[in-house]
Structure 1
């Protein structure tokens, strides 16, 4: 029988949210808008949750619609 090893990660302490500036959010969202780009791929490449990037896209889209409606 062969021996197998597995990797275990021990988490100590409290995890903190990373601070992401509005400029960084915009760069990530713009990257997802490029042809052929997957939102999940872009999110993971930046170490973010895909659901968070989906939320940023939705919020930015809603704000853009509000701006158009004001004019």
Structure 2
């Protein structure tokens, strides 16, 4: 039997989208640049859409 834990996030109220700080975005993008890591793997670990993470990577590469 595995000891893996799962995180479930319940969003209540009017706001439906999760807001990420600039610090969180940078941290997630930096994780994708670690040896052996992929955008898809990092996205799964943090409950993100891979396309969102790819967009952040592109903007950071452009200097944004």
User: Per the shorter chain, which TM-score range?
Assistant: 0.7 to 0.9
TM-score, scaled to structure 2: 0.74
Structure 1, unmatched stretches of 5+, are 1-13, 65-71
Any runs of at least 4 consecutive aligned residues in structure 1 with deviations exceeding 6 A, and if so which? none
Q: What is the alpha-carbon root mean square deviation over aligned residues?
A: 1.6
Structure 2: gaps of 5 or more residues = 1-13
Task: Say which structure is richer in helix.
Answer: 1
Equivalenced residue count is 51
Q: TM-score, normalised by structure 1?
A: 0.67
- Higher RCO structure (Cα 8 Å, ≥6 apart): 2
Higher-Rg structure is: 1
